[in-house]
Amino acid sequence: MQRFQQYIGGAFEDGAACFESLDPATGTAWALMPNASAADVGRAVDAAWAAFHAPAWAGLTASARGKLLYKLADLVQAAAPQLAALETRDTGKIIRETSAQIAYVAEYYRYYAGLADKIEGAHLPIDKPDMEVWLRREPIGVVAAIVPWNSQLFLSAVKLGPALAAGCTVVLKASEDGPAPMLEFARLVDQAGFPPGVVNILTGGPAAGAALTSHPKVAHIAFTGGPETARHVVRGSAENLASTSLELGGKSPFIVFDDADLDSAVNAQISGIFAATGQSCVAGSRLIIQASVKDAFLNKLKAKAEAIRIAAPDQMTTEVGPLCTLRQRTRIADLVAQSLGQGAQLVTGGVVPDGPGFYYPPTILDCSGLPDAAGLKQEFFGPVLSVISFETEAQALALANDTVYGLASGVFTRSLTRAHRMIRGIRAGVVWVNTYRAVSPIAPFGGHGLSGHGREGGLAAALDYTTVKTVWLRTSDDPIPDPFVMR
């Protein structure tokens, strides 16, 4: 089996232990991954701490940091086919998606390369005539970046890019599920010429995560994952009082009004829930459809869902591949069964296929009249769409906001005024109107509630990796009066 190594202090090494990684298409082991111990994590943080203070990194100008990021972007673009193949092999995400996404990841590094020397301070018009006061934005310190297996190169870019642009150093922990592309990405970091210890990449389970998030030298934690794990992250941060940015899950509403272009909305819904086999935090997993067009819309949706080609993820013609893990498939099947037991109607799918691999078919549940059904409340993180109908705009908005999450949303309507009303009313960090799943390095991304806090992408993300220093400079040449002499 292929063997991968972790990257600490500019050196590749085996972990304290290792574990087998399974190919989701077959369910068989194909590679050995390093399983970082708490001691490994400690060495990685120490390496990042030393690099943060060393002249090789701390002495670089912001423009020089940008040049390193530009080089990393070029290396990512050149290695995209190899990285895509690894991600497909280790996570089951189909090759047509990994290829396109990783090629675009390079643009995130280019964006932050260009931003590196544009993170500015400010001069304050202070109310004291003999003082000059200005603000400096300085790197916050060592960053703990924790990413899940899905879209991991993208989710690491929106952390590494701004952190490195700001001048921080990073310890990145990849998920123990499907970490191969992140461990291979470490070779690109090494080739780009970042000083040793500036970026460290390892993988491991909860023990490694706990050691990283609670380490006293960690100043900021950037985490993407589920709310339950995020609670452990926040508890860990109580030890070091690190700041946090949390990009968590979602149960995103996909709202279709009767005046929408139904064919366009159907295509967007197919992409919004079945792309990446539904394993996406922004999956449009709640279809909120106006009752007058519900039957017509579901007929179109069902036909397209049943025509989706489910096959091996390494084939370019495959449209839906396997789930990443067997436990995820088991959880999805249980939630579908729970929803059906609550009275939901199965429109299509819902049956675990025979054969090897962790496949699950595109599934649609009609939960109309069942606002508390599991399908409408819980994040499946798989190819399952739950449907509920509405009569009025006010009902649509109430259903959209009937969730503990607040990450993304979609609105399909030809009415400009209605679109603006929905934009104002929906409680979500992202609102897509007549489109879905569009992203850009220029645009901030994030949510609130159980979808987390903080933003990734855009200038806002870079500022999260800085701290503000206030500088006071007295301009008078007169001596400071003795404070104990009364005048």
Q: What is the bridge-based pairing of β-strands 28-35 and 2-3?
A: parallel
Q: 143 has which bridge partners?
A: 170, 220
- Dihedrals phi, psi of 203, to nearest 5 degrees: -145, 160
Q: What is the pLDDT of residues 76-111, one digit of tens each?
A: 999 999 999 999 999 999 999 999 999 999 999 999
Q: Are residues 352 and 222 part of one domain?
A: no
Gap between the Cα atoms of 313 and 209, Å rounded = 29
Computed from CA positions of residues 398, 451, 154, 375, in that sequence, does the dihedral angle turn out positive or negative? Answer: negative
Query: Are 227 and 349 in a shared domain?
Result: no
pLDDT-derived band at 387, boundaries 50, 70, 90: very high
Query: Do 90 and 206 sit in the same domain of this protein?
Result: yes
- pTM of the predicted model as reported, rounded to 2 decimal places: 0.95
The CATH number linked to 158 is: 3.40.605.10
Query: How big is the CA angle at 189 (ends 186 and 193), to the nearest 5 degrees?
Result: 145
Domain with 267 in it: what CATH number? Answer: 3.40.309.10
**Structural domains in the chain (count):** 2
Domain contains 443: no
For 11-51, write each residue's pLDDT tens digit: 999 988 999 999 999 999 999 999 999 999 999 999 999 99
Is 477 inside a domain boundary? Answer: no
For 390, the token pair is 């509405």
Instruction: Specify whether 191 is located in the same domain as 325.
Output: no
Same domain, 31 and 53: yes
Residue 478 is assigned to a structural domain of this protein: no
Beta-bridge partners for 410:
254, 432
For 218-262, the pLDDT digits (tens) are 999 999 999 999 999 999 999 999 999 999 999 999 999 999 999
Angle at 114 between CA 108 and CA 115, to 5 degrees: 90
Tell me, what's the pLDDT at 1?
85
Contact present, 98 and 88 (Cβ < 8 Å): yes
Q: Are residues 147 and 127 in the same domain?
A: yes
pLDDT for position 15: 86
Q: What is the DSSP string of 304-347?
A: HHHT--B--TTSTT-SB---S-HHHHHHHHHHHHHHHHTT-EEE
pLDDT score of 487 more than 80: no
At 397 the pLDDT is 98
- Region 410-436: what's the mean pLDDT? 98
Q: Are residues 213 and 309 in the same domain?
A: no
- CA dihedral over 213, 218, 221, 225, signed as positive or negative: negative
Q: Are 420 and 322 in a shared domain?
A: yes
Answer yes or no: is 480 within a domain.
no
At 132 the three-state DSSP class reads: strand
**Where in the sequence numbering do the catalytic residues fall?**
247
Query: Strand 345-348 vs strand 363-366: parallel, antiparallel, or unpaired?
Result: antiparallel
- What's the pLDDT at 306? 97
Residues 23 and 128 grouped into a single domain: yes
> Within this chain, do residues 119 and 260 fall inside the same structural domain, yes or no?
no
Same domain for 429 and 401: yes
Average predicted confidence (pLDDT) for the chain: 96
Q: For residue 264, give its domain range.
A: 253-433
| Residue 486 lies inside a defined structural domain of this protein | no
Establish if 441 belongs to a structural domain.
no
User: Does residue 79 sit within a domain?
Assistant: yes
Does residue 486 have a pLDDT over 90?
no
Same domain for 380 and 464, yes or no, is no
Q: Kindly state the DSSP code that residue 94 receives in the 8-state scheme.
A: -
